[in-house]
Structure 1
Amino acid sequence: MALEWEQVIVDAAGPQTLGRWWAEALGWVVVDDGPEEYEIRPEKDRLPGLLFGTAAEGKTVKNRLHLDFRPDDQDAEVARLLALGARRADIGQTGDEPWVVLQDPEGNEFCVLAPRRA
């Protein structure tokens, strides 16, 4: 039996708006821009993707699942994401972690990790 990771589903108040934000943040392409579902992928035929669907309720607590990203330059990437509309998030970190916790425009947390050591 084989499993292929297709996508991560993200509930959103505005699937198109949030999906467009993530497409710009990641440099990914849009593969479905319907009003109820908005899907992006690294490339048209490359998996996994992110699928943004409509949620009736808003986000109220810390995510139980979040994405981690490892850039070449953490400071530059955090600055770029903040300029796109991300916000810093306090989820109880102590301050000496090698990652930065941010939230997307709808409050979903994600981490920007320090560059990988050689």
Structure 2
Amino acid sequence: MALQWEQTVVDAADPAALGRWWADALGWVPVTEEPDEYEIRAAPDRLPGLVFVPVSDGKVVKNRLHLDFRPDDQSAEVARLLALGAHHADVGQGDSSWVVLADPEGNEFCVLSSRRR
């Protein structure tokens, strides 16, 4: 296949601050630290990356695209992310097995239940 997923772009009021938050949350490393582009990856030569770019308008509605994460321990991971500055988000999920959180700029993401062994 000739098509490779390079990165996901995230609009941000403060790309560097949000990029650093996600780097801490994921344990990833910065690979580009420019005023108009802050990119992080799991390792410098590993794709895909997350690229944070500046926008002047604020987030208004639920994201049309969000990331899902599968932890070993959902409760511990939710607590860790909340301690880093995430907050709970209600996107109409109701009673579900996943937890919806939002990063410091309000971008929603899900922490799924732990995989059954």
TM > 0.5: yes
Indicate the RMSD between aligned Cα atoms, in angstroms. Answer: 0.7
Structure 1 residue aligned with 2:11: 11
Stretches (4+) displaced over 2 A: none
Structure 1 residue aligned with 2:112: 113
Name the amino acid aligned to 1:4: Q
Number of matched residues? 117
Residues 19-52 of structure 1, C-alpha deviation per residue, up to 9 Å, x if partnerless?
0000000000100011111000000000000000
Name the amino acid aligned to 1:81: L
CA distance in 2, matches of 1:53, 1:94: 32
Name the amino acid aligned to 2:104: P
Answering whether residue 48 of structure 2 is matched by residue 72 of structure 1, we say: no
Within-5 A mapping of 1:1-118: 2-95=2-95, 97-118=96-117
Deviation at 1:116, TM superposition (A): 1.0
Which runs of no fewer than 5 residues in structure 1 stay unpaired?
A: none
> TM-score scaled by structure 2?
0.98
CA distance in 2, matches of 1:94, 1:30: 35
Name the amino acid aligned to 1:48: P
Which runs of no fewer than 5 residues in structure 2 stay unpaired?
A: none
Name the amino acid aligned to 1:101: V
